[in-house]
Amino acid sequence: MFLGITTLLSIGPAAAPVLLLLGSRPAPPPIVDPLTGALFPRSVASQDACVDARAADRKRILELADGTNLRARTRFQDGAWQRREGRDWVPVSGVVTGFVLESDLVSRSRLMAAEIGKSDHSARTVLAGWLLRKGLAAEALAELDTVLAAEPEHAGALALLRDREFPLEALASGLRFDQPETLAIAGAQGSSAVREALVWTLARERAHFDVQGFVAAELAAPQFRRRAFAALAARRLARGTFQKALTDRAVLDTMGLVREEAALGLRDLADANAVGPVVDALGSRFPAVRRNAAESLGNAGYAAAVGPLMANLAHLRAASGAPSGVRAHLFIGFQTAYVGDYDVEIAQGASIANPVVSTQTSGIVLDVRAQAQLSRTITLAVERREVVEALQKLTGQNDLGEDPSAWLAWWEKNRAQFEAERVLGTQGDVAATKADEAQ
Rounded to whole angstroms, how far apart are CA atoms 435 and 418? 14
| The dihedral sign for the CA sequence 96, 100, 106, 111 | negative
* Lowest model confidence (mean pLDDT) among 30-34, 244-248, 280-284, 429-433: 429-433
Give the β-pairing of 69-77 and 80-85.
antiparallel
β-pair partners for 71: 61
pLDDT at 354: 74
Instruction: Give the pLDDT band of residue 263 (cuts 50, 70, 90).
Output: very high
pLDDT tens-digit map of 276-312:
999 999 999 999 999 999 999 999 999 999 999 999 9
CB 229 within 8 A of CB 218: yes
Region 40-60: mean pLDDT is 62
User: For residues 35 and 212, what is the distance between their CA atoms, to the nearest angstrom?
Assistant: 37
Provide the β-strand partners of residue 335.
361
Q: 138-159 burial, b for 16+ CB within 10 Å, e for fewer?
A: bbbbbbbbbbbeebeebebbbe
Domain residue limits, the chain: 5-110, 165-304, 306-323+370-438
Spacing of C-alpha 63 from chain mean position: 36
Full strand arrangement of the beta sheet holding 88-91: 88-91, 80-85, 69-77, 58-64, 96-101
pLDDT of the residue at 91: 93
Contacts of 37 (CB under 8 A, 6+ apart): none
Q: How confident is the model at residue 54 (pLDDT cuts 50, 70, 90)?
A: confident
326 pLDDT more than 80? no
Tell me: the pLDDT tens digits for 215-261? Answer: 999 999 999 999 999 999 999 999 899 999 999 999 999 999 999 99
Q: Distance between alpha carbon 195 and the CA centroid of its chain, in Å?
A: 10
Mean pLDDT of 400-416: 88
State what percent of residues in the chain have pLDDT above 70.
77
The CA distances from residue 43 to 28, 83, 364, in Å, are 8, 21, 88
Q: Is the pLDDT of residue 332 over 50?
A: yes
Flag whether pLDDT at 183 surpasses 90. Answer: yes
- Which residues, including other chains, have CB under 8 Å from residue 2's CB and lie 6 or more apart? 33, 36, 38, 111, 112, 115
CA 107/CA 218 separation, integer angstroms: 40
Instruction: Name which of 100, 60, 52, 53 is nearest 83 in CA terms.
Output: 60
Q: For residues 303 and 251, what is the distance between their CA atoms, to the nearest angstrom?
A: 18
Among 21-35, 198-212, 323-337, 368-382, which is the least confidently predicted range?
A: 21-35
Residue 7 confidence (pLDDT): 35
For residue 281, what pLDDT is reported?
Answer: 94
CA–CA gap between residue 402 and residue 387 (Å, rounded): 9
The sign of the torsion formed by the CA atoms of 419, 423, 425, 427 equals negative
Q: Which of the four pLDDT bands, split at 50, 70 and 90, describes residue 333?
A: confident
CB 233 within 8 A of CB 162: no
3-state helix, strand, coil split of the chain in percent (to 5) is 55, 15, 25
Distances (CA, A) of 437 to 247, 318, 352, 418: 29, 10, 78, 19
CA distance 427 to 434: 9
- When pLDDT is averaged across residues 191-210 and rounded to a whole number, the result is 93
Predicted pLDDT at 340: 74
* 435 has pLDDT over 60: no
Per-chain mean pLDDT for the chain: 81
Q: Find out whether 281 and 429 touch, Cβ atoms under 8 Å.
A: no
- CA 137 to CA 98: how far, in whole Å? 18
Tell whether the model's pLDDT for residue 8 goes beyond 80: no
289-301 burial, b for 16+ CB within 10 Å, e for fewer? ebbbbbbbbbbbb
pLDDT at 161: 96
**Number of C-alpha atoms within 13 angstroms, CB side, residue 163?**
8
Helix (H/G/I), strand (E/B), else coil: 58: strand
Contact 40, 148 (CB under 8 A): no
Dihedral sign (CA 186, 251, 388, 426)? positive
Please enumerate, as own/partner, the contacts of 278-284 that have beta carbons within 8 Å and a separation of 24 or more: 278/247, 278/250, 278/251, 278/305, 278/425, 279/305, 279/308, 279/423, 279/424, 279/425, 279/427, 279/428, 280/425, 280/426, 280/427, 281/251, 282/308, 282/309, 282/312, 282/427, 283/426, 283/427
**Interatomic CA distance for residues 242 and 234, integer angstroms:** 6
Radius of gyration of the CA atoms of the chain, in A: 35
